[in-house]
Structure 1
């Protein structure tokens, strides 16, 4: 069978290769996934249930996730079913998804820095 014609059942690989639809990738894996990951990474340390090792491990996992979601959204940005959802050309939606994901990644980096600062220098967090 042709490798291109072979369906990829693993969503992580399918999106990485740019073969998935943008909407579920962006809203499900991107927005919802980022919120869940942020809660799992920052929640325990901020609640006093975990310390610096947890945060460092979580930031490493978050960095891998961020690379995956950025590349996947970039590659899937043209995979929109409708030619003009809400009257907006699909190319505009794809570009918006790309740049909003870049902005979200910058925000995640800032969150990681602030989390580390609050754990390493607790007096500054007050």
Structure 2
């Protein structure tokens, strides 16, 4: 059996735990820290680093939620989680882009 170094990043837990404890709560904390850095007037490299961490985490968690959304009793809950996470990811991408453009402009 081949294993990848990325297997350590995969989470095998129920969707509700992944969605709330790995998705919603940490993403909001990451956003709060990123916005604190943004509004504190930190260096551009620090801001770009924070945006990169935020976008990387968002990409990872959307994959995890997508992968775990089939292990629910009601399939509609899995689909709702997918849609909400995709919307959150689009929102994160757009906000980071516009905040970076505002900082550069």
Please state how far the C-alpha of 1:42 moved relative to its aligned partner. 2.2
User: What runs of 5+ residues in structure 2 fail to find an aligned partner?
Assistant: 2-7
Please state how far the C-alpha of 1:104 moved relative to its aligned partner. 0.2
Counterparts of 1:41 and 1:64 in 2: how far apart (Å)?
A: 13
User: What runs of 5+ residues in structure 1 fail to find an aligned partner?
Assistant: 3-11, 84-89, 122-126
Counterparts of 2:101 and 2:51 in 1: how far apart (Å)?
A: 13
2:18 is the alignment partner of 1:25? yes
After TM superposition, the runs of 4+ consecutive aligned structure 1 residues lying more than 3 A away are none
Q: How many residues align?
A: 100
Counterparts of 2:69 and 2:26 in 1: how far apart (Å)?
A: 18
Please state how far the C-alpha of 1:60 moved relative to its aligned partner. 1.3
Larger Cα-atom Rg: 1
- CA displacement 1:64-83 (0-9 Å, x = unmatched): 21111011000100223xx3
TM-score normalised over the length of structure 1: 0.71
2:28 is the alignment partner of 1:35? yes
RMSD of Structure 2 on Structure 1 (CA): 1.9
TM-score normalised over the length of structure 2: 0.84
Equivalent residue, structure 2, for 1:105: 89
More helix by share: 2
